[in-house]
A = this chain, B = another copy of it.
Amino acid sequence: MRGQQQAAISGGHSQDPLLQMDDSLTNIHWLGKMGANTLLDRQERSYNRIGRPQRKTHDSNRPPYSYMALIQFAINSSPARRMTLKEIYAWIEDRFPYFKTAKQGWKNSIRHNLSLHDIFIRETTKCESGRAQSYWTLCHEALERCLTIDQMERREAQMRCRPVPQITRSGTPPILPRPLGGYAVVPVVLPAPGSRDNNPTLGHRPAGVVRIQPKGQLPVSVTPSHLLRSGSVTTPRTIFPKPATQHGIKRPSDSDLPPRKRKSMISPTSSQHRPVPTFYRPSGASPLKETTNLTPTKERVKEEDVGMRSQLLWSPDSHLLFSPDKGFSELLNSLDLEISPLRSVLRTPVIGRNVATSTPRKVTPPKTSSRSPGLLSPIQDFSIPKTPDSGLHSSNSLTQHVSPIKDSFPPLLGRVQKSKTSPGQLGLGSLREFGLPGLTPLKEEYQGKEGDHEPVTQNLSFGKLLEELGLDTIAELDVGNISFSAIQ
């Protein structure tokens, strides 16, 4: 850690050669280590449009982010969107002083995460200027998502200022208004490319500016500018927020524990279910399974779905789910699959759909839902399938499952584990403090009523989404810095 790294960072300008040809914008010390103040100024000026001078984060406390997130923060903070291991170390230590004094082992974890997760890709430059150099970069989807520390901190600030509405009862916060239709975002301004057109790694992308479309209007495209320019994406997308569960209720840790050792549940609000994201095709074949669930009538409810009554109460009419976009399946087919458009879940009890196309969609048969369903904050839960045709394969009366989160973009907050080596309540504690575990859960009243067939969709207000991102709903926003994956 010492000698070699020090040299590389402070003195040696670990400037990425990718950016050497440029001079004006990128010729700064974007990775600081000397005079933090001076550096801070430069950085704020160059890369922080928000202008909030928050360099050191979560001082001395362990940050509530997973290593996976931290590494993405680091890599995305660099103009070239790639970093050497040393630089990743240094960036994390710089932004999260906790790691400066952290028990050694965290670097091991960093390397472990880099190797383990496929979103982190190692590049080796040819040793044209001497020896080969290894850089860590992100897969295409992660580059697009462009997860940054700024996003998170904006979010945190938001949380501090206007915290989530108080929890009315234990574990059952009130429901928030949810509009019916899908949401659409349309690009309004496409600023001139930031003079770095030739960068193949999407590094230092210029931000596209979008404006929220009035509700009820139909899908228009939301497209990052660099993609628009290349003409790869021109089809509209719809936004379908995704349900989730409540957090913050202790469950028994693991069933393998001998019964005497198992922790007792604190709140017996058991049977929490979060339907796994479901990818469906509006014009797809009929469900393979016929067990009720689809018809929101009281009679059907009674039919033979043992213990599933409350599920149905939260199952919106299927036509509701598809109504906002009749041409959705055609759109799907015409999409550039490289983009991995994200359609998040609707709590649809459609089980085992038989997809008629050659590219199966991702599905997890929702025997779904439960008693107390909730809505996860979108930013915690938007995940991207790694490959277009990954997902559930249904044939021959069986169904194969692929976790949509697997090595893609797991929730960034709320799943960070408590560090064994840190005080204890830092991990999840700080999360709960910010109200982050399960931001907009459903009210219990809505759950209990039978035959509640009002058009309560699972669509989360997109305004709410933006609010949680720390952005205003109608205002223009810098799309370059938030996740496109969460918007498409």
**A contact residues vs B (CB 8 Å cutoff):** 104-105, 107-108, 115, 118, 121-128, 132, 135, 200, 254, 256-258, 288-289, 291, 352, 365, 367, 395-403, 406
**A397 and B125 within 8 A (CB):** yes
User: In whole angstroms, what is the CA distance A135 to B105 when docked?
Assistant: 37
A367-B132, A396-B200 given as contacts; is B289 within 8 A of A126 (CB)? yes
**A291 and B127 within 8 A (CB):** yes
A254-B108, A256-B105 given as contacts; is B401 within 8 A of A122 (CB)? yes
Instruction: For A123, give its contact among B104, B135, B399 (CB under 8 Å).
Output: B399
User: In whole angstroms, what is the CA distance A105 to B401 when docked?
Assistant: 25
Instruction: For A124, give its contact among B105, B127, B258, B352 (CB under 8 Å).
Output: B352
- A200 closest partner in B (C-beta): B396
Chain B residues in 8 Å Cβ range of A395: 200
User: In whole angstroms, what is the CA distance A85 to B101 when docked?
Assistant: 42
**A398 and B125 within 8 A (CB):** yes
Chain B residues in 8 Å Cβ range of A121: 400-402
Chain B residues in 8 Å Cβ range of A104: 256-258
Chain B residues in 8 Å Cβ range of A128: 397
User: In whole angstroms, what is the CA distance A430 to B53 when docked?
Assistant: 58
6 pairs, CB–CB < 8 Å, chain A vs chain B = A121-B400, A123-B398, A123-B400, A123-B401, A125-B397, A135-B398
A104-B257, A256-B108 given as contacts; is B365 within 8 A of A399 (CB)? no
CB distance from A180 to the nearest CB of B (A): 31
Chain B residues in 8 Å Cβ range of A399: 123-126
Chain B residues in 8 Å Cβ range of A105: 256
In the A-B complex, the 6 residue pairs with the closest CB atoms? A122-B401, A124-B399, A126-B397, A123-B398, A125-B398, A108-B256
Q: Apart from A115-B403, A125-B398, A126-B288, what 6 extra A-B contacts exist at CB < 8 Å?
A: A121-B402, A122-B400, A125-B399, A126-B397, A132-B367, A135-B398
Indicate how many identical chains form the complex: 2
- A134 closest partner in B (C-beta): B401
**A289 and B127 within 8 A (CB):** yes
CB distance from A24 to the nearest CB of B (A): 22
Chain B residues in 8 Å Cβ range of A400: 121-124
Chain B residues in 8 Å Cβ range of A132: 289, 365, 367
Chain B residues in 8 Å Cβ range of A122: 400-401
A352-B124, A398-B123 given as contacts; is B291 within 8 A of A107 (CB)? no
- A133 closest partner in B (C-beta): B398
CB distance from A401 to the nearest CB of B (A): 5
User: In whole angstroms, what is the CA distance A128 to B406 when docked?
Assistant: 29
User: In whole angstroms, what is the CA distance A122 to B256 when docked?
Assistant: 20
User: In whole angstroms, what is the CA distance A126 to B352 when docked?
Assistant: 8
CB distance from A302 to the nearest CB of B (A): 18
A104-B258, A115-B403 given as contacts; is B352 within 8 A of A398 (CB)? no
User: In whole angstroms, what is the CA distance A108 to B255 when docked?
Assistant: 9
Chain B residues in 8 Å Cβ range of A352: 124, 126
CB distance from A262 to the nearest CB of B (A): 11
User: In whole angstroms, what is the CA distance A270 to B291 when docked?
Assistant: 63
CB distance from A77 to the nearest CB of B (A): 20
User: In whole angstroms, what is the CA distance A104 to B262 when docked?
Assistant: 12
Chain B residues in 8 Å Cβ range of A396: 200
User: In whole angstroms, what is the CA distance A124 to B399 when docked?
Assistant: 5
- A288 closest partner in B (C-beta): B126
- A124 closest partner in B (C-beta): B399
CB distance from A108 to the nearest CB of B (A): 5
User: In whole angstroms, what is the CA distance A300 to B132 when docked?
Assistant: 19
- A121 closest partner in B (C-beta): B400
CB distance from A81 to the nearest CB of B (A): 13
Chain B residues in 8 Å Cβ range of A367: 132
CB distance from A371 to the nearest CB of B (A): 20
User: In whole angstroms, what is the CA distance A396 to B123 when docked?
Assistant: 11
